[in-house]
Structures are given as structure tokens and as C-alpha cells.
Amino acid sequence: MIELAGKVILVTGGSRGIGAAIVRTLAGAGADVVLHYGQNRDAAAAIAARLAPERCHLVRADLGVPGSATGLWAESVAWRGHVDVVVNNAGIATSVGVDDPLERWTSMWQETLQVNVMALADICREALLHYRTRGGGTIINIASRAAFRGDEPDYMHYAASKGAVVAFTKSIARGFGRDNVVAYAVAPGWVLTDMAQAAIAVKGMAALTRDIPMGAMAPPEDVANVVAFLASGLARHASGTTIDVNGASYVR
């Protein structure tokens, strides 16, 4: 069993889907969790209410606003005086294609890169500076199989953002290993969350799972369990790697 007692872990985008499963799993393993949310405080509060009240701290930040990540980090550190692990899970995926007007194309690319890359990079920067004062720490970035195999034409910007996350994570591992910092990426395929339900409603479950050899979308707990393992420190020399959770739909 994974044991995370004594660790303070920040999870961005923790109020729904994969993030909510990560929060529950980490707290269940004994961690003190900072649950970041963007808009839905009720959903975040409902998750926290099911955990020990002293073990989950809510912090709101709109990561679509440049610079907001630094305030999020400061509030997270203030709760317990430090953060041992950061899980950058927050991300957006909004459809836009080459046939859309240039204004919408540009806006969606900028918004996606701000949330999925720039806010993540800002949090990682704060974490690295913090970890240098504490003799090390752990960064876990949630990427996507789209980083490796690409995505549909209407989600090229999403795939590009996740490719950046993977490259950035590798750079952190290589550049800060001597500072006792470890960094990992986790790359899910389709995960059965409320976001996936919207796609299911349009395309149907059969179409979305046709190329998944296991025949089903991954439960969010599969991703959460991988994150908990990486957060435990039991595989430090796996730093720099990406772990796929996609039912063998893309095997590297």
C-alpha cells in the first residue's frame, strides 16, 4: 500500500474528473492535499467534505489569467509552510480548426497554451525555487497520449500543448536532478470522466473506444494510482519518464 503521510501535495484542477480522483487517492494514502479549483467551489468543497477537514485545503485560481499561478503557489505553501509534491493536472481542451475564423483560431490557441503550458510552467518554476530551499521535491505533470500520436484536426492545439508539457518535464528532470528534484509525466488516453461524457454524447462510446485494445476508457482511478505511486518516492530513478495510461491504444 502506498504511504504518503507527512507529505503536502498540491493538485491543480482537483474539483472534477481525473483531478478529483487524484485528490481522493492521495488523501486516502495519508497526504495533506491542497485542492486547486478554477470556478466550481461547490464541487471542490464537496470533495473536501468527504475527506478529513484538516487534511484538504481549497485554493481558487483562474489559470487562464497570466500570473495567477504564482498566487496559487503562495497560498498553497502558506497552508503548511511547504509543498513536497505538485501535480499539475489542470488543463483545457476546446475545439477549434483551420476552417474557423482566424480570431477564434488565435484565441483558442492562446487560451490553451496559457492554461496547459504557461500556468503549468509558472507553477513548476515556483516549485523549483521552493525545492532548492528544502533539498528537493517532486513534480508530476499530466500530459496526454496526444503528445505522442497527435490528435484530431480540431484539437491540434491541445496535442501541441501536451507535447510541450512532456518536453518541459524531461528538461526539469535533466536540469534539476542534482538538486534532488524528480519530475514525471503521466499521459492518459480516454478517461471516463464528465469531460469524456460530452464526447460520448456526440460520437458514441463505440467510436471512441474502437482503437483501445482493452475495449474501454480508463477509470480515473487508474491515473490517480499512478500519480500516488510516483508521489511516494518509490521510483525516484524513473525521473524524466512518461507513464502511459491508455489501454494500449498507443504503445511507444
**Among candidate residues 180, 136, 188, the one with its CA nearest the CA of residue 158:** 188
- Respond yes or no: is residue 155 known to be catalytic: no
Pairwise CA distance, residues 80 & 123, whole Å = 17
- Residue from 37, 131, 158, 184 carrying the catalytic annotation: 158
Buried b (16+ CB within 10 A) or exposed e, 12-39: bbbbbbbbbbbbbbbbebebbbbbbbbe
Pairwise CA distance, residues 171 & 163, whole Å = 13
Pairwise CA distance, residues 59 & 117, whole Å = 20
Q: Which helix (H) or strand (E) holds 222?
A: helix 220-231
Q: Which residues are catalytic?
A: 158
